[in-house]
Amino acid sequence: MKDLSLGETMIRTGLREVDGVPVTEPIASIWDQVWKFKAKPDDVLIATYAKAGTTWTQEIVDMIQQNGDTEKCKRETTYKRHPFLECMGPREQKDINLFCSNTQLAEAMPSPRTIKTHLPAQLLPPSFWEQNCKIIYVARNAKDNLVSYYHFHRMNKGLPDPGTWEEFVEKFMTGKVLWGSWYDHVKGWWKAKDKHRILYLFYEDMKENPKREIQKIAKFLEKDLSDEVLNKIVHSTSFEVMKENPMANYTKDFEGIMDHSISPFMRKGTVADWKNHFTVAQNEKFDEDYKKKMSDTSLVFRMEL
Ligand code: A3P
């Protein structure tokens, strides 16, 4: 009999709410542990709504911290270099390294640590605020974020089944997706930046002028980089180079769970791919709903460059 790969034996997770925000069953099961996580003052947190450019930002931050040393950045995969705070796989697979709770992974890591999260601001463990940690938040326009999220659900068996494209658009608009409402997420963190040390960045700005945005991140991290190092970081964190980098393209972790033949993790890396997905009617409906949901914020996104 053929050995079944992990992906073939996996049943896709359902969602459970934590304070009204849908998360996977495994995350809900360890929520107490996540909430009680003890951040340290020199932790750097990279926070995003999923698919907003987290991995890209992680690579930039690591390159800055390693002074542009690409070999040092290849010491481990993205997933292992930066603990994914609330990540937790199916309980029955706890013995597999990948699925142990990432809070434990973070605890075992020497400082200074860089940690990743997709939690909305109101669900961030309070110790991050108490310790005044530096936080980099990256936001991406709703339509491209949605498209990327849809394809990610298709290829990642660790997430709920996305259903059809039409169904997924509806779920996204109503916030009935993993990590909840995109609208609340970007607005919540936008508000939080008035009170906390948060560098709020946009995927579209990073695409438009990566060097300028990398400089912003370096300044925020109080790192002085030469122009030569800066140019090196721009190059090695470009979509094309990262797509070919096994330590940054997720081909080494989540084997049997992420199926890159369905849709690669490094999919397109562009702005305005939504135009290839939305029908005219869908777009009109989305825009109308968007206007209502975003009427109470000063936050403005660019849907194209
Ligand atoms: P697409 O699916 O639109 O291609 P996250 O890391 O938050 O999961 O986000 C993944 C998205 O960021 C994917 O978007 C991926 O291609 C894109 N991405 C990853 N690295 C990138 C880079 N260096 N430049 C531009 N986009 C990048």
User: Whole-angstrom Cα distance, residue 14 to residue 78?
Assistant: 26
Looking at the predicted structure, is the pLDDT value of residue 3 above 50? Answer: no
For residue 242, the ligand 1 atom closest to its alpha carbon is: 23
Q: State if residue 51 touches ligand 1 by the CB under 6 angstroms criterion.
A: yes
User: Whole-angstrom Cα distance, residue 110 to residue 79?
Assistant: 16
Residue whose CA is closest, atom 25 of ligand 1? 269
Residue whose CA is closest, atom 2 of ligand 1? 148
Q: Which residues are catalytic?
A: 118
Under the banding of pLDDT at 50, 70 and 90, the label for residue 95 is very low
pLDDT above 90 covers what percent of the chain?
A: 86
Looking at the predicted structure, is the pLDDT value of residue 5 above 70? Answer: no
Q: What was the pLDDT predicted at 256?
A: 86
Residue whose CA is closest, atom 10 of ligand 1? 51
User: Whole-angstrom Cα distance, residue 165 to residue 153?
Assistant: 11
Under the banding of pLDDT at 50, 70 and 90, the label for residue 4 is very low
CA distances 214 to 13, 55, 64, 275, Å, are 36, 14, 8, 28
Ligand 1 centroid to Cα of residue 145, in Å, is 10
Looking at the predicted structure, is the pLDDT value of residue 67 above 50? Answer: yes
Under the banding of pLDDT at 50, 70 and 90, the label for residue 94 is very low
Range scoring the smallest mean pLDDT among 3-17, 156-170, 181-195, 218-232? 3-17
Contacts of 300 (CB under 8 A, 6+ apart): none
Ligand 1 centroid to Cα of residue 106, in Å, is 24
Q: What are phi and psi of 296, to 5 degrees?
A: -105, 25
Averaged pLDDT, 217-245 = 98
Looking at the predicted structure, is the pLDDT value of residue 25 above 50? Answer: yes
Q: What was the pLDDT predicted at 26?
A: 86
Q: For the segment 287-303, what is each residue's pLDDT rounded down to a tens digit? A: 999 999 999 999 999 99
Q: What is the mean pLDDT of the chain?
A: 93
| CATH class of the region 10-293 | alpha beta
